[in-house]
Copies of this chain bind each other. A is one copy, B any other.
Amino acid sequence: MPIPAAAAEALAALLGRRFSTSGADRELHGQSESWHRAPPPDAVAWPETTEEVAQIAAICQRHRVPLIGWGTGTSLEAQALATQGGLVLDMLRMDRVLEIRAGDLQTTVQPGCTREALNQELRATGLFFPVDPGANASLGGMASTRASGTTAVRYGTMRDNVLALEVVLADGRVIRTGTRAAKSSAGYDLTGLFVGAEGTLGIITELTLRLHGQPEEVAAAVCGFPTLEQAVECVTATIQSGIPMARIEFIDADVVRAFNRFSGTQMHEGPHLMVEFHGAPASVQSDAEAFGALAADFGGTGFDWATTPEARAALWKMRHNAYRSCLALRPGATAVVTDVCVPMSHLPAAVADAAADIRAEGLLGPMVGHVGDGNFHAQILVMPGDEAELAAAKRVATRMAERAIAVGGTITGEHGVGIGKLPLMRAQHGEAVAVMAAIKQALDPQGIMNPGKLVPGVN
């Protein structure tokens, strides 16, 4: 459904050349890093102010044009694809750090600002923004998918680190949610409602984020384990013991193979944990020693400490490149990425069952995990066009999700729902899906905000 001429005229009048229906602009905003595919959007807009976003929403509402937010296009469940056509709102021109309030450990940013750009700006302050999903995503996108990543075990997810929002609603109204106080009991937690809503309830135009002090001391290491089971059981024991890990990441033998091939490392090609400790020097030392003792109990060997900032940066850069490194294990492949998260005591079985299932289907699916949260991913490599392989990968992904639900876990720890997890939402939430639909209906009665995503059976 192309955009009605009256809507296109109004948008062009408002935005000039920052509104485009050119094939190239549409194609660029119809890409996905994952296996999801959709036709490109009908048009793209690049707003520069909240007021422009509000006017765009009002125009889209009047003409019933779907409105889809776009950050860096790195979401993995097709959240930013215009699956029902419409207008993609590219937020990257709204990328400023508006204010850093170091004394309050807070910053206010525009949604197109990326996490790396923010941390660059924060360098001189001694503060940092910890949420780290790997990709250099936009902070608006990270909030919208409730992103987390390697440091969530210590610093929490976007849910925990977004204090306040400015949001443009479907009808163009602009609201502010939350406050700059560390906590509040003043009414419904609207901030928490818009975080993770994937743009289905409104467009985030400003975020106030919690900042954290750079830890006085940081220590990071890689440690190998004889088996996948022992590595994951070590994680469970570590979390249960209360050692305050800053990061504790699982990588399996296939991932190590990818690292060795594409990052030039020479690690033993078995399962490993990548860990980091933050704190005062005395704490870091006692935490690292406590973890070392636990790791030894589970057969951990060959601790390789990254002692300099450069070595640590290289270590985590390698981890962040896991997705691309693993894709390169099979040139031309794309990936079905799973994202379950389970209660800690169920983690060892969940990882082992997933590995067995991937093997049984004859697939290659390297696994990484933010295992301190019980969250792990299999990146199942499939060749575009091989429908049988894609179907097998989806079967594995669905079974992983169903097993996660059976033990009280979730079908998505951090990637969100988009269209990929939509068929599993009822199995996850039951009747609560109707409550989500009622909220969607109340805030977006015409269904123009990222339609077809997140809430099954709506639009």
A residues lining the B interface (CB < 8 Å)? 101-106, 145-148, 152, 157, 159-160, 169, 173-177, 179-190, 192-193, 195-197, 201, 212-213, 236, 239-242, 279-283, 285-287, 290, 339, 341-346, 373-375, 404, 407-417, 421, 425, 428-436, 438-439, 441-443, 454-455
Contacts and interface: CB of A to CB of B under 8 A. Distances in A.
Contacts of A146: 183-185, 189
Contacts of A105: 239-240, 344
Contact of A187 (B157, B425, B438): B425
14 contacts: A101-B343, A103-B240, A146-B183, A159-B183, A160-B160, A181-B341, A181-B374, A186-B429, A187-B433, A188-B197, A188-B436, A190-B436, A282-B283, A442-B442
A442 B409 CA distance: 28
B190 A196 contact: no
A407 B442 CA distance: 31
A361 B443 CA distance: 44
A188 B439 contact: yes
Nearest to A430: B176
A180 B343 contact: yes
Given A176-B431, A183-B413, A185-B339, 20 more contacts: A101-B345, A103-B343, A104-B345, A145-B185, A146-B185, A175-B430, A182-B374, A182-B375, A184-B412, A186-B428, A187-B455, A188-B193, A189-B189, A190-B435, A280-B287, A281-B286, A282-B285, A282-B286, A439-B443, A442-B442
Nearest to A242: B213
Given A236-B103, A438-B443, A442-B438, A187 B408 contact: no
A435 B175 contact: yes
Contacts of A188: 193, 196-197, 201, 436, 439, 454-455
A9 to B, nearest CB: 29
A361 B276 CA distance: 54
Nearest to A197: B188
A123 B269 CA distance: 44
Nearest to A239: B105
A175 B104 contact: no
B345 A429 contact: no
A185 B413 contact: yes
A104 to B, nearest CB: 4
Nearest to A177: B432
Number of copies: 2
A383 to B, nearest CB: 28
Interface centre among A201, A282, A436 (most CB of B within 10 A): A282
A189 B188 CA distance: 11
A280 B287 CA distance: 8
B442 A176 contact: no
A412 B179 CA distance: 11
Nearest to A200: B188
B373 A182 contact: yes
Nearest to A281: B286
Nearest to A173: B431
Nearest to A414: B185
A421 B159 CA distance: 25
Contacts of A236: 103
A125 B454 CA distance: 39
Contact of A186 (B160, B187, B342, B417): B417
A294 to B, nearest CB: 14
B439 A183 contact: no
A443 B283 CA distance: 48
A173 B433 CA distance: 12
A40 B77 CA distance: 52
A373 B181 CA distance: 8
A173 B147 CA distance: 31
B196 A421 contact: no
Contacts of A241: 213
Closest 4 A-B residue pairs measured CB to CB? A180-B408, A213-B242, A103-B345, A192-B192
Contacts of A212: 242
Given A181-B413, A185-B196, A410-B184, A432 B190 contact: yes
A187 B454 contact: yes
A439 B437 CA distance: 11
B182 A189 contact: no
Contact of A409 (B180, B417, B428): B180
